[in-house]
Structure 1
Amino acid sequence: MRTSTRRSHRLVALAAVAALSTGLLAGCSKDSDDGNSNSGGGGGGGGGGKTTLTIGTFGVFGYKQAGLYDDYMKLHPNISIKENVTTKTDVYWPKTLTRLQAGAGTDDIQAIEVGNVTEAVQTQADKFVDLGKEVDKSQWLDWKNAQATTKDGKLIGLGTDVGPMAICYRKDLFKKAGLETDRTKLAAQWKGDWSKFVNVGKDYMKKAPKGTKYVDSASSVYNAALGGESQRYYDKDGNVIWDKSTGVKNAWNAAMEVATSTMSAKLKQFEDPWNKALSNASFATVACPAWMIGYIEQKSGASGKGNWDVAAAPTAANWGGSFIGVPTAGKHQKEAIALAKWLTAPEQQAKVFAKQASFPSTPSAYAALKPLPDTTAYFSGAPIAQIFSDSAKTIPTQIFGTKDQPIGTAITDVGILQVEQKGKTPDQGWDAAKNEIKDVLGQ
């Protein structure tokens, strides 16, 4: 997940995700401490005349786990690689910003989470090497490159993983409710519009198995729907437009249909009640980025095997992803650029996927992606890699701003919550969100 353009505390909560296979999704590991496993900054001379390159990351990126560092050092005997890992993203990024602004103490390569990349592009671009001059940018998804590109065309980071969206659903519950269970036919019923997805939920609730709901929460539907909208909280000039945004209105309306109905379990994702509901089959669907597949498999347990399936989402959407950049303050820029290019090349991204299913941002890697057989069997033989690949290729380019996360949190944790859990009207929820956002923006 590295994810997420969503709420920062939700990023923290994506703990122990065995995404599609074993290991943790890069950058979405559980935050269990406040600092580095290896503190320190810029690279220096290694033993035996080697050049030591340092890589600053957060969570688990998968490079070490997939053996990429060892592979690179075998190919380049003069290079030694040291990864400096900060567990918490909300500790990693402020610390990185301080070092970037000071022009000292940075690692030779710095990871950038998608929730922070707009701030990096708008305020720290001069602190990073323009990698667009060093690579063939067509290797990456266009919308992925756009997230890390300045207005004057400077590319400050190379894409690592992305979080294409699908719908994970319990076909056993759908069958009991008298609904379509075939993934292709089901996807066709809600294709193109999240309101169609909600309409399927209305049908589900007519004959819902006792004690079950259609979705986990209205906020989940809001975030998933917004992930497929090109217009979010800011315009291309950096102006806040959340209350006029077509994308926000579309996502809000879908969420309100859920919040004012009986189809929501009203659960916060990744908290204990949500985990328990997964194991108890208490809700029938969840919007799932690629990295959530493993989490569902883990938390739903043996009883879910063959009952879960995966269908294409109503619209192509993204949740999560990161980049790696080369600070200009680094002592070994030439060597760092070469390593960054190699780590993010399609072949290496495919190896990370094979180890822990961080979904590549390089389309040429997609044809060879294969989840573990156990995971495929768990999700009823769904063509998981194909579904997520198709989504990744058609996700729209989205504009992000420096306050994206707190604006989103105000809408979900204040506005939607007011309606879903406190019985307020959609207009009252909208007004509550608006007041909260004014505080966030200092208006």
Structure 2
Amino acid sequence: MADMSRRNFLRSAGMLAGSVAAAPLVAGCGDGGKSKATQSGAVKLDFWTHDPGYVKTYTASAKAANAAKTYPFTFSLGVTSLAADAVVTKLIAQAQAKKGTPDIAGLEVSQFPRMMKQNIAPSVLVDWSSELNDEQKSDLLRLADYTVDGKAYALESDTCPTVLYYRPDLFKKYGIPEDVGSWEELQAAAKGALAAGKALGICCNGEPGAALGTFRQLYQQRGLNLFDESGKPTIDTPEAVAVIKFMADSLKSGFFTMVPDPYGAPNAAALKSEKLIATFMPNWYNVYGLQANVPKQKGLWRVRTLPKFSAGGGVGAALGGTGFAVVKDKPNTQAAIDLVKYTYLTKAGQLLRFKTAGYLPTMKSLYDAPEFNTYTDAYLGGQKVFPIYKEIAAQAPPFHQSADATTLIDALGGAIQKAQTGAISADQAVKDAMAQYESQTK
């Protein structure tokens, strides 16, 4: 992957902070709400995304929906490819101008807080809460990520469950059981590997958001996230202190190794040299991290649920994602709604997404479907992975967002980086982050 592609994917994982300027209030909706709605026939939907995988997915979905003849429209796409942050920047600008907005836009989860500012999302986007029935709402995973004041404005495209990637051959070499139950047990079992200069995870000293990626996944295991449902920070907790201390102690012992981010040359070198014999990242890291950097290690890696913390919590964690939103009050709004519904609210659409680009089902009920459970991953040695994903998806805590998310990412990520080096304690890192956040959001 090129350096810019790595940065874009880091942003999609919610791992880079990125500057976010407050946008002026968007008055009105879509392109002004004056155009006559298309009722049927051929429609070309303006489709904005940062990732070619979504272009491939929606192109296939449009063809399948046309063949199914469930809807009164014949779909095609007019694709605009933009960087992740540019999708939101341009969407807001065009909404202000009341022209040139897309019909469908893929909003990276780390960029959605920008849509929460100054009533932008409710003014511009279709409220999916009014489009979904109660059964669909209870079946869909990760609606909270794109919710403002109890209303959801995008549908998540992947559940992004975090797993422990590990090398069973090297675990065997160093006497590490593959089924250890806790992080503490894994640390004790890995002493021989650590003595040989091996590591079983990473912490990041690049941009603050990269450091926060490691923290967030471990913190979710304790059943917590960065914000509560009201948008208030939920990091001033004993669990946050414990996780940061665990990260710092793991670096000191060599259990984790320090890299700028999970994608660049230092991390790739650690994988290639077999210094990094395990790492925890979401399902998509299989393709964008391992296969991109160590394709010759095909068949050597496996995945399992994360070890638990002995102090409490579970295995549920996730990182990254992209929600698909529809701009309201446009001629093709209903057609756009129908295509997104086919893609995410039907079994056929969900299965097509997985076969086309590897996106996991976002409906809980499909994790028991034989079409998914019989899948084996060639890179992971033919392993059946869906039973693992199902267990994680069922436990991951809701990821609530805030319009001030970037401020917290910068503050907490920077404080964690200091704690990782021993410059400050874990407790002080939380205090400093909260003080910086509160001073900037008053």
TM-score (norm 2): 0.77
Q: Which moved more, 1:268-277 or 1:91-100?
A: 91-100
Following superposition of structure 1 onto structure 2, how do residues 29-428 of structure 1 map, counting pairs within 5 Å? 50-65=42-57, 67-74=60-67, 75=69, 79-121=74-116, 123=119, 124-139=121-136, 141=139, 143-151=141-149, 153-181=150-178, 185-186=179-180, 189-190=181-182, 197-208=183-194, 210-217=196-203, 219=211, 221-228=214-221, 230-242=223-235, 244-245=236-237, 248-267=240-259, 268-294=261-287, 295-302=289-296, 304-313=297-306, 314=308, 315-345=315-345, 346-366=347-367, 367=369, 368-369=371-372, 373=376, 375-376=377-378, 378-412=379-413, 414-421=414-421, 424-426=424-426
User: What is the count of residue pairs matched by the alignment?
Assistant: 396
% identity of equivalent residues: 19
Residue 36 of structure 1 corresponds to none
Query: Secondary structure of 1:180's match?
Result: coil
Query: Secondary structure of 1:161's match?
Result: coil
Residue 12, structure 1, aligned to residue 8, structure 2: yes
CA deviation string 1:44-99 (max 9, x = no partner): 999xx733222222213435356222233444685342243333111111111222
| Aligned-partner Cα distance in 2 for 1:83–1:287 | 37
1:205 maps to a residue whose letter is: K
CA contact (8 A) 2:224 2:397 kept: no
TM-score (norm 1): 0.77
| Aligned-partner Cα distance in 2 for 1:225–1:9 | 25
CA deviation string 1:2-31 (max 9, x = no partner): xxxxxx99762459xxxxxxxxx9999xxx
**Alignment CA distance shift 1:360-1:324 (3 Å):** same
2:360 maps to a residue whose letter is: F
**Alignment CA distance shift 1:64-1:398 (3 Å):** closer
Residue 38 of structure 1 corresponds to none
**Alignment CA distance shift 1:210-1:423 (3 Å):** farther
Query: Secondary structure of 1:96's match?
Result: helix
1:404 maps to a residue whose letter is: A
Query: Secondary structure of 1:388's match?
Result: helix
CA contact (8 A) 1:171 1:307 kept: yes
**Alignment CA distance shift 1:161-1:101 (3 Å):** farther
CA contact (8 A) 1:215 1:283 kept: yes
2:125 maps to a residue whose letter is: F
Alignment RMSD, CA only? 3.6
Structure 2: which 5+ residue stretches go unaligned? 16-29, 205-210, 309-314
**Alignment CA distance shift 1:214-1:161 (3 Å):** closer
CA contact (8 A) 1:326 1:333 kept: yes
**Alignment CA distance shift 1:308-1:404 (3 Å):** same
Deviation of 1:388 (Å): 1.0
Structure 1: which 5+ residue stretches go unaligned? 1-7, 16-24, 29-40, 191-196
